Chain A
Amino acid sequence: MSTLFKGTIVGLDIIDSTNINTIALVSTSSSLGVSGFFKKLVGDNSLNINGKNLEKIELLSSDFKGLFNVYGNDQIKARKLLNPTTIEHILKLASQDNLYALTIDQNYMIAAFEGDNIDIDLEPKFFLFKPRTNEGRIKNITDSVNQVQITAKKLYDLIK
């Protein structure tokens, strides 16, 4: 068994969002060996998210520096949503937090971050392992909360 992805999923339900668009950023990375099969399955120019058919959005090739392919339900509105400021924020998320994939579906956002930058490890250790100390356990919990809050704020700022 080999690990294809290790990271964190963060989903955000935004209250009072005015966004009515759906866009998806799919990593162009082929190092995991999935792109070929993925392309065969859904085609290069469209994909389906939450029952919605999304078309590939043609942006300037320099916009995402080849990191992501962008799909949306409306070419014009998607380009409007992905303004230079938003793209800059997304690139910052990619470089600093290892953003791997992002979908914005109206008032819902979900993002996958690769690696251990955000560590949500609340599970107890098995009895053969040495138990965590009180300080370590509480620090682990509070660190997880803080990391998730910071990341959520960054995502929230993308469309606010």
Chain B
Amino acid sequence: MNNKYVNILSFIFAVVFFIFWFNTGGHQFFEFLKKPTSEWQFFDYAILFAISTSIVAWLTQRKRNKIKDKVNTIYEEIKSEETIKTSGELDIPQELIDQVEKTRNTYVWLFLITTLILILLYVELTIITTPNSDIKIEEKSVWSIDLIFNLIPWFMFSALLASGLQWSYSKKYHSVYVDSVLNNLNLQDVKVSIINQNPKYAIKKYLPGMPYGQINGSETLVIVTDQYSVHAASITIDRHDNSGSGA
């Protein structure tokens, strides 16, 4: 099933679910929006988060597929270039990279902006009006510090989720980028690549004189020649100030 039908079905499901939920007592949810300290607060939060996340996910997924296609196309063009040399000019067209760098951040900003819009919608609903006809329009909520506290966890979670998605997204395409550069290095009888390998096991096994602490390593650069193979990584060794030392 392609993305178009998945999106349509997701949308229909979301609308049907909302109508069902609203008619089976969900309208009381808006009471919660007006008085967030009601007894069923946890359930309300869950519903609030589920609905908002579904909307955000649906909107961003549509955009993300377009971004992915665009980035993939760009990287395919980069891969086809064979002009990079360590000693010569680097000829990946700047326009291609500019496009990648622009689209790289689009996803996360889209996610955050959509989240912000939903938060504003929440504030709008809470302060300006309520769909419950039993509540008179004169009894509007007023802005209070409680609203801030209600919004912070939601916004923080959305921000963390967006950051995580963007991080994995940029890592994925970063690897493709580095691979494309390394594959194009014009080195005779030398193979260069990167792997995700923490050097801490080698350090513990072979370098007992190193300081004792938490070892953080970069990606490992691997170079294979006909005489030797090299694994190299930048590291830092940190120690919590309240812990002991030794190696």
Contacts and interface: CB of A to CB of B under 8 A. Distances in A.
A8 B205 contact: no
A122 B218 contact: yes
Contacts of A122: 174, 178, 194, 218-219, 221
Interface stretch (B13-21, B25-33, B128-136, B232-240): B232-240
Interface stretch (A57-65, A78-86, A88-96, A134-142): A134-142
A42 B223 contact: no
Contacts of B207: 9, 24, 101, 103, 110, 112
Interface residues of A, number: 66
Contacts, number: 196
Contacts of B181: 137-138, 141-142
Interface string A68-112: 010000000000000000000000000000001101010010101
Contact of A131 (B104, B199, B212, B245): B104
Nearest to B107: A127
Contact of A11 (B178, B190, B231, B244): B231
A47 B205 CA distance: 11
A112 B191 CA distance: 23
A47 B209 CA distance: 9
A5 B239 CA distance: 10
Contact of A13 (B194, B212, B228): B228
Contacts of B210: 5, 100-101, 112
Contacts of B177: 137
What's the dominant secondary structure at chain A's contact region?
A: mixed
Interface centre among B167, B178, B234, by most chain A C-beta atoms within 10 angstroms, is B234
Contact of A134 (B94, B182, B246): B94
A20 interface: no
Contacts of A49: 205-206, 208
A41 B229 CA distance: 33
Interface stretch (B39-47, B84-92, B119-127): B84-92
B234 A121 contact: yes
Nearest to A36: B246
Interface size band for B = 35 or more
Nearest to B104: A131
Contacts of B244: 37
B147 interface: no
B104 A148 contact: no
Interface in B193-229: 194, 199, 202-203, 205-213, 217-219, 221, 223, 226-229
A108 to B, nearest CB: 8
A17 to B, nearest CB: 9
Interface of B: 84, 86, 90, 92, 94, 97-98, 101, 104-105, 108, 163, 166-167, 170-171, 174, 177-178, 181-182, 185, 190, 192, 194, 199, 202-203, 205-213, 217-219, 221, 223, 226-241, 244-247
Interface of A: 1-16, 24, 26-27, 32-34, 36-38, 40-42, 47-50, 69, 100-101, 103, 105, 108, 110, 112, 118-124, 126-127, 131, 133-135, 137-139, 141-142, 144-146, 148-149, 151-152, 156
Given A15-B227, A15-B228, 13 more contacts: A8-B235, A10-B231, A11-B206, A27-B209, A101-B210, A103-B206, A118-B232, A121-B234, A122-B194, A131-B101, A131-B104, A137-B177, A145-B86
28 contacts: A3-B238, A4-B212, A4-B238, A5-B210, A5-B235, A9-B233, A11-B231, A12-B228, A13-B229, A13-B230, A27-B209, A34-B211, A34-B247, A47-B208, A50-B205, A103-B206, A112-B210, A120-B221, A123-B219, A124-B174, A126-B163, A127-B163, A131-B105, A135-B90, A138-B90, A141-B181, A142-B181, A145-B185
